[in-house]
Amino acid sequence: MKRTLLSLSILASGLIGVGSANADALLGPKLSQDLQSLTGPYDVIVSFEEHNQIDGVLQNLGIPYIALQTMPIAGATVSKLQLQALLASPAVSSIYANTPLEYSNYTSGEITGGHYVQDFYGLDGQGVTIAVLDSGVDATHPDLEFATKTIENVKIVGDLDLLGGRNAFLEGVPNSDTSSGHGTHVAGTVAGTGMASIDDTRRAYYHDGIAPGASLVGLGAGEGISILYALLGFDYAIANRERLGIDVITNSWGGGDGAEFDPNNPINKASFEAYKKGMVVSFAASNSGPTEDTLNQYAIAPWVINVAAGTSDKLLADFSSRGVAGHQYKLPDITAPGQNITSTRAPNTAIGAMGPVIDEENPDYLLYYHTISGTSMATPFIAGVTALLLEANPALSPDQIEQIIKDTAEPMDYAPHEVGAGYIDVKAAVDLAKETSGNRIAFMNGDTLWASQGRWAQADDSAQEFVYVGKWQSKTDTKAFEGTVSKAKNAHASVFAKVRGERVRLHFLATSDQPVSIELISDGRVMGAETIYARNASAGSPQDVAVAFDDLGDGIHDLEVRVLDKGVMFDRMDVDGAILPPDVSFTQSQQIDSGTMGVSAENLEVQEFPLEIGPNDVNLTSTLTWTGVADLDFFLVNPDGVEIASSASLENPEVIQFWTDMVGTYTLRVTGYISIATPFTITTEITSEVQ
């Protein structure tokens, strides 16, 4: 379902880097050199402006080719005359050489200290499981063996709801990567065992991944990965996190390069949910460099690790996307090896046919490995490094893992919006991980660095939104959030607040090593008690202590922070939502719209209904219901014409909930993905603040 809402390109467009070429050039430099000395034929990678131009152009020129299914790219063998004709075609954007390459995961492990960690620390990712959300995994490959290495392999299949089904996952599939090959290469970079290269004289298991001891879960979203399939992949990983022990999700795909961070985008919501559940999420930065402001829109979510691609000389690859100088979100987090990476090959696939490995001493490598480039290759490397850090210290939280990777990076002579913190240093990261006190328990209780909107809403103890009951004293302290704290002079004093959001984090200042306790009550329901304690705290060295409470539920809540011991010093409150005035009240109104969706397929039919939102309106919940066998989609469009929320589930009804941030005429948009003549009704509840 929703296969065509937005096509997300699997980030193998780094294939343009197979010849180490400049992504802006029409003719790759290696191919330019070949034209000076070789008469042909030439093995090339041809990129087109549009996918539907491939067949017409290449067939008219009598060129044999293999076209990718989702990207406008084809591999071909051409004569010099055919090459000249392609260069003159307005449909062709670039042509690069498809040549055998030598650079491999071996080099990646050497230059980053990964092999040192494996050989001298004995760390290889044991006990860690990584989900590869991609085109699939060929677990018949000896390096990715099903059941032992790839512990589960899932094929995400098509729209089943019109047939009465709901199970969109085929489990236990030995090979879920039958036509692309992209996901198989990614999986080998993460955790391939190198079994097919066990006897290599240079190093046993020469072509293994960075974390060969880790387990894999293949999530095969197919070659034409779409928002729905990506969401299903995240949904499966989250639902099966405990059963399969999934610790990491790596994503070498994306779309909307250069777009602004949108916390309401469904992919960003899914990656945040995975992050909040304790999984590290890595995303490819994209391959639209060297132009600036070209980062993958899903990689700039602050809770994921945004990975740029580097060369074996520890330079930034030309194709690696850049961000924007000084932008809060538009910058990579780390750079990792991504140019000319040799990894596992899925035979009889489009991408698997590219970058053949020619090794005279090991001719079988042609069958098992191939070499391609891209941020797609750098991203699983970071996922594998995460496995090493978790093996070294299982108590680390996702926030700590990202910070350790960034704090230990090797500086590069580039701006932060180009390379992030620098080039990954695996050994230094593992060394720091070993000596870091893990805070995973606090993280899992809700004390995360990031909130679902990209930041926490914060209020200092002196904010007007707080109501204090009991004896409290305001005190100054330079270590406090804004220089003041409120100290409880007696037990059972309380702080009251009204908030919107399902998570809240409370900060206290500990000035001694004596533990004190508080409890949180939400809408009359006790959410739990927490102890405020810092071992080395003193009056001369106060310590910030944060406690978080999750699962308050959707909507607006009346909170009471009840102090159980005197001496508690309340510093601030963070909310994943908003802190409201204590005396605010609300009313509700309703709008009902109806219509009939005619015969429709692929969202061709559209009906729209205006919805007026005033300055006091704060929230809307809109429910689309219909009768009969159909598949309708539902969208909310703001006054600027931007789609800001959608419901594209497998359910009837479709429901949109949105906290309004703009006054004006919104639009409720209904589309018919698959529909006969279908009557439908939209019921919209609008919540308004009473002034």
Of the listed 104, 176, 180, 182, which one is catalytic?
182
Question: Which ranges of the chain have pLDDT less than 70?
Answer: 1-26, 28-30, 66-73, 96-106, 158-168, 223-228, 600-604, 648-650, 673-675, 691
376 is an active site residue: yes
- Type of residue numbered 485: V
Largest CA distance in the chain: 90
Contacts with 423 (C-beta within 8 Å, 6 or more apart), sequence order: 112, 310, 314, 334, 335, 336, 409, 410, 411, 412
Composition of the chain by helix, strand, coil, percent to 5: 20, 35, 45
CB 188 within 8 A of CB 109: no
Angle at 443 between CA 437 and CA 449, to 5 degrees: 95
Of the listed 124, 134, 447, 460, which one is catalytic?
134
Measure CA 96 to chain center.
30
Domains of the chain, first to last: 26-97 (3.30.70.80), 115-445 (3.40.50.200), 457-580 (2.60.120.260), 585-690 (2.60.120.380)
183 in the Ramachandran plot: left (φ > 0), alpha (ψ -120 to 50) or beta?
alpha
Of the listed 288, 376, 452, 494, which one is catalytic?
376
Q: How many CB atoms lie within 10 A of CB 103?
A: 18
Contacts with 629 (C-beta within 8 Å, 6 or more apart), sequence order: 162, 676
pTM comes to 0.76
Residue indicated by tokens 């001694």: 512
CA distance 337 to 1: 36
- Type of residue numbered 286: S
